[in-house]
Amino acid sequence: MSKASQLRALIESPRTEFLMEAHDGLSARIAEEAGFAGLWASGLAISASLAVRDSNEASWTQVLDVLEFMSDATRVPILLDGDTGYGNFNNMRRLVRKLEQRGIAGVCIEDKLFPKTNSFIRGEHQELADIGEFCGKITAAKETQADEDFCVVARTEAFIVGMGLAEALARAEAYRVAGADAILMHSKLADCREIDAFMKEWAGRHPVVIVPTKYYSTPTEHFERLGVSTVIWANQSIRAAVTAMQQATRQIANDRHLRNVEGDIASVAELFRLCGADELLEAERRYLPTTGRVVTAIVLAAGQGELGALTTETPKALLTVKGRTILSLLADEFRRVGIHDITVVRGFGREHLNHEGFSYLDNERFVDTRDLYSLNVARQKIEGELVISYGDILIKSYILHDLLADPADISIVVDCEPDSSSSRKRRDLVVTDRPYDRRSDFTASALLSQIIVDLPDREANGEFIGLWKVSPKGAAILRQTLDAMSGRADFAQLTVTDLLNEIVKSQPISVRFVRGGWIDIDSLDDLQKAGAF
C-alpha cells in the first residue's frame, strides 16, 4: 500500500486509530519504532523545534524541508498539520503537489485566517474563515491531488472561538460536502463534553478526528464508544524532549562533567542505530575495499562467587540488579560504544549462562583454576583490538570511551580514588610511574609499575578495576606471554594481575585513571549498592 492508502485505511478503519506527533526525522523514526501506524507532523512541534512561534513564522517551504526528512526516515504515513494551507486556494493547490512529491499521505487544514495563531492562545478572539472560501480551498486540494487516496482533513475551530455546536455542525457538514475526507473537531475544554455533543448530533456521517491535548484525562475507551475515527497525540514528543533536554543540560551545567548524566541518556551508539549507521557499515563492506574499526570483548565469568545462597547454583554474573543480570548490564555498556562481538568464558553454573547475543567458551576446570586460566581458554579470541573484563563488574560507558581512545598497545583502567572501606577480599592495588594529578589533563595516561594485592592504600596510586584493552600488536604480546606462562607448574592458580605484572617487565602498559563510575559485585553489600549505581 502507498502511504496515502495506509492513511486512508486508518481514517476509514472501523476502530479508533492513533497518530503520534513528530517534528523531525528522528522523532518520526522513534514514533514508528514505538508502534504507531501513522504520524502527525505537528505545526506547533515543528515550529518549536525551530524555536519560532506557531504563527506561520516558519515558512511553508521550511516545513516541507522538515517533512522530506520525516518521510525519508519512515515507512508509515504522515498527516501534515497544514494550518490554513499557507494562503488561498492557489497556495493550497501548490502545497498538495509538493506534499505528494515528498510522499506525504495527507494534509489537515483549519478554517482560520492566514497567518494563523495557535488555538490555545486567546482562541476566543480569533476570526474564522468564510465557509464558502474554505470549501473552495478543500475542493481545490481534492482536484489537485494525483493519488486518489491522498487525504484532506478539514478542521473547524468553531468550538475554539466560542461559536457553539450549531456552527460546528454547519461547518463540518459544509466541509464534508466540499470533499474533505474527514472532519477534525477541535476543543480546548478540560473535558470532552463539546466532542460528546458533536458526535451525538453528527451520527457517524463521516470520519471524525480529535486532538485531546486539553481533555487528556478522558479515557480512550470513551472516544471509542463515541465512534471517533482517529485520535492525534499532538505535541507530547516535543514536550518530552524539552523536559529531558532541560534536565540533562542543567545537570551538566551544575556538575561541570558528564558522569551523572551519561547513564541516563541515549548512547551515541543508539543515535547511530536510529540514524541507520548499521546500513552504512554494511554498504561500506559491499562497496569499499576497507572496513572500519572493529573491537571485540572477552568477559571472564567462570567463577561462582561467595554471596551465600544467591550463588549456590547461580554464577555471580547472573545475579540481578533491578531485574537485569550483571552480565547483561555490562554488555549494554559494551554495545553503547559499538562493541557487539562479546565472548563469555563460563564455568560454574554454565547451564544457566546462556543469554542470547554472546559467544561462549567453557573453562572445564573452573573449580581448581583462576581467571588467567579462563583467559587462556579464550586464547583463540585474542586477536585484533580487544577489551577484556571481569564478569562481576558494572561500569559507566564513558569509562569504555576513554579506554578505547587510548592509543597504547595495552591499557588498563585504574580508579585513582579506591574505596578504602571496601569489604572485598581482594583488591588489586596499583603503583604507577606518577600519581593521578587532578590539575592535569584528565585524559593523560600514566604507566603501570606493578599491581600488588592489598598494598597499603598510602603506597598505591589506585585500584585496577578489572577492565583493560589491547591493540592488535598488544594482542600478539598477550598471546606470547600466555604461551610462556602456561608452561609454569602454578599456572592454574595465576591471575590476570600476574599476567599484567609479567608483561610490564618488558612492555609499557598505559594506565587510564577514573574516579568512580564502576562497582565490583563481591558481597551482598556491593549488590545492594549496585541497585543505586
From its phi and psi, is residue 466 left (phi > 0), alpha (psi between -120 and 50) or beta? left
341 is catalytic: no
Beta pairing, strands 230-233 & 518-520: unpaired
DSSP tag of 83: T
Cβ density class 286-300: b for 16+ within 10 Å, e for less = eeeeeeeeebbbbbb
Grid coordinates belonging to 91: 497556495
Asked if 152 and 109 touch (Cβ cutoff 8 Å), the reply is yes
The helix (run of H) or strand (run of E) holding residue 244 is: helix 236-255
**Measuring CA to CA, how many Å separate 348 from each of 296, 317, 370?**
24, 10, 12
At what angle are helices 25-34 and 60-73 packed, to 10 degrees?
Answer: 40
- Return phi, psi of residue 46, to 5°: -65, -45
Q: Which of 54, 81, 83, 181 is flagged as catalytic?
A: 54
Collect all residues with Cβ–Cβ distance below 8 Å to 334 and sequence separation of at least 6. 297, 340, 342, 387, 400
Residue 62 burial class via C-beta count within 10 angstroms: exposed 0-12, middle 13-18, buried 19 and up = middle
Give the count of beta carbons closer than 10 Å to the beta carbon of residue 230: 25
Q: How far apart are CA 507 and CA 342, in angstroms?
A: 26
- The rounded distance, in Å, linking the Cα atoms of 303 and 292 is 35
Tally of helices (H runs) and strands (E runs) in the chain = 18, 21
Name the residues annotated as catalytic: 54
